[in-house]
Amino acid sequence: MRHVLQFVLLAIVLVACDDRGITVTAENAQFAVVGGPPVHQVLGGGSIVREDIEGAPREIYGFQAQVDADGNAWGEAEVHFPSNDVKMHIAVRCLAIERNQAWLSGEVTRSDDPDTPVGRVYVWQVRDNGEGGDAPPDRISNFFYLETGNYEPDACREKTPRPTYRWDNGNVRILTPGGPSLADLVGTWDATVLTYYRLPDLGDTLDALAGDGEARWTVAPGGNFSLIWWAPGVIFENVAGVVDVVNGQMIQTFYEAPAAVIVPDPRVTGSTVTVQADLEFGADWDGDGEDDDPSRIVMEWRKKRTGVLIDDLAGAWDATVWRYTSTADPTTMVDLVADLGLSVTVTVTRDSRLYFVIEPGGWTSTTDELLIDGNQMLVRNGGESQSFVFSLEDDTWSLAGLNEFDFDQDGTQDEAMLEAVVVRH
């Protein structure tokens, strides 16, 4: 390549669109596409300072694109690179979606730069990290073209992974018109209905929330999720995986199992998700101890909006105190930070997972599922769950609970009380 154009944000008024596609002007009439109703849309705009050009002015962009069920894509992009004095218009000919990421490609239809000819095909990638002040910045790749030859206009179908960069002043939205999208599932959800029915006659039922049972589902913008079954003070089951919504179907893949679970026609409102699916597994109707009998599952999830949410804890935290006190001898204690000079970094992801790293040495803990219940924090990774009392004040997170530490270095863990204070990285 002569140069790789940083894909940057252009705050322009985009051509108005309806459910058939862009409004066609004389300039871009040859690129009009007559397609069916769009199943995906991507919209974006804003500005950014290029990292690869020292002292570069802000570059600006805007784009909109959509694709129908047959793969016909149409849209536009306007790009202005002041450092190169380049202004160009692109007709989007290809749009590919994978969860919260999109790839776009198409030909230049207008350019005021002789080195950026009409007909050159560009390919770029964007990532929608959600909306709102707590969402991390959206991301975008460089703007790629071939030094010799040319990409095909539908090059985006290859979904080639490319490095992406955070936008400091921009936004992208990946939408599913007329139906739910992955963005509609992002957040923390508590089950209000979780019932299994025996197939094929539906005669037997099992209420998974009977008694003190509860379930929580946490979905991150990229589709990663944790699903936790719990009762007050204890997590008794947890799984994790990736969820997506494609053509009106919710598709869940669990890390522990290769087969995807497909749920047709999920119903999503602002505060409720309702799903129903017939599965080849789900409950133990024949009494053999395995939950592998055909079942219909009916679930309703209500969005959690109060108390401390996973978004409040998501990110990296540095320990100022990480102290173990022996429960057998409270005079015996070790603080990894103050006494041993180590650093401890705790990372919480938006799908309710947690791990910590101790340096030097790079020792990394297992990744635990995390659940917040009032001022109690429960963690579990396939074994017994642990419980901590915690408080969160601004950017300081304090917690305490029973744990283990090898005080005498004999290779056997000793019961201990862990007290930790971490501050946002």
Structural domains of the chain, with CATH: 5-175 (no CATH), 182-303 (2.40.128.280), 310-424 (2.40.128.490)
- Note the pLDDT tens digit of each residue in 22-38: 233 333 333 444 567 88
Looking at the chain, the whole-number percentage of residues with pLDDT higher than 90 is 55
pLDDT score for 277? 86
Q: Is the pLDDT of residue 244 over 80?
A: yes
**What average pLDDT does range 395-415 have in this prediction?**
94
pLDDT (mean) for 184-208: 92
Instruction: Count CB atoms within 10 A of the CB of residue 181.
Output: 23
Q: Is the pLDDT of residue 52 over 80?
A: no
Determine the average pLDDT of the residues in 230-245.
92
Q: Which is more confident, 3 or 380? A: 380
- pLDDT value at residue 35: 63
pLDDT at residue 9 in the model: 25
Question: What is the 3-state secondary structure of the chain?
Answer: CCCCEECCCCCCCCCCEECCEECCCCCCHHHCCCCCCEEEEEEEEEEECCCCCCCCCCEEEEEEEEEECCCCEEEEEEEEEHHHCEEEEEEEEEEEEECCEEEEEEEEEEECCCCCCCCCEEEEEEECCCCCCCCCCCEEEEEECCCCCCCCCCHHHHCCCCCEEECCEEEEEEECCCCCCHHHHCEEEEEEEEEEEECCCCCCEEECCCCCCEEEEEECCCCEEEEEEEECCEEEEEEEEEEEEECCEEEEEECCCCCEEEEECCEECCCEEEEEEEEEEEECCCCCCCCCEEEEEEEEEEECCCCCCHHHHCEEEEEEEEEEEECCCCCCEEECCCCCCCEEEEEEECCCEEEEEEECCCEECCCEEEEEECCEEEEECCCCCEEEEEEEECCEEEEEEEEEECCCCCCCCEEEEEEEEEEEC
Of 32-36, 179-183, 246-250, where does mean pLDDT reach its minimum? 32-36
Give the separation between CA 257 and CA 146, rounded to whole angstroms: 40
pLDDT in tens, 345-376: 999 999 999 999 999 988 999 999 999 999 99
Pairwise CA distance, residues 405 & 322, whole Å? 12
What is the three-state SS of 161-220?
A: CCCEEECCEEEEEEECCCCCCHHHHCEEEEEEEEEEEECCCCCCEEECCCCCCEEEEEEC
Q: What is the mean pLDDT of residues 116-133?
A: 87
Q: What is the pLDDT of residue 94?
A: 96
Give the pLDDT confidence score for residue 129 in this predicted structure: 83
* Confidence class for position 134, pLDDT limits 50, 70, 90: low
182, HSE (Cβ side, Cα atoms, 13 Å): 28
What is the structure's pLDDT at 22? 29
For residue 28, the model assigns a pLDDT of 38
Instruction: Flag the least confident range among 49-53, 84-88, 378-382.
Output: 49-53
In the prediction, which pLDDT does 133 show? 65
Question: What does the pLDDT read at residue 21?
Answer: 30
Question: 15 and 26 in contact (C-beta within 8 Å)?
Answer: no
* pLDDT number for residue 82: 82
Phi–psi pair at 260, nearest 5 degrees: -85, 150
Q: What is the pLDDT of residues 321-339, one digit of tens each?
A: 999 999 999 999 999 999 9
Q: Which is nearest to 122 in space by CA: 86, 70, 166, 176?
A: 86
Per-residue confidence band for 15, with pLDDT thresholds at 50, 70 and 90: very low
pLDDT reading at 246 higher than 60: yes
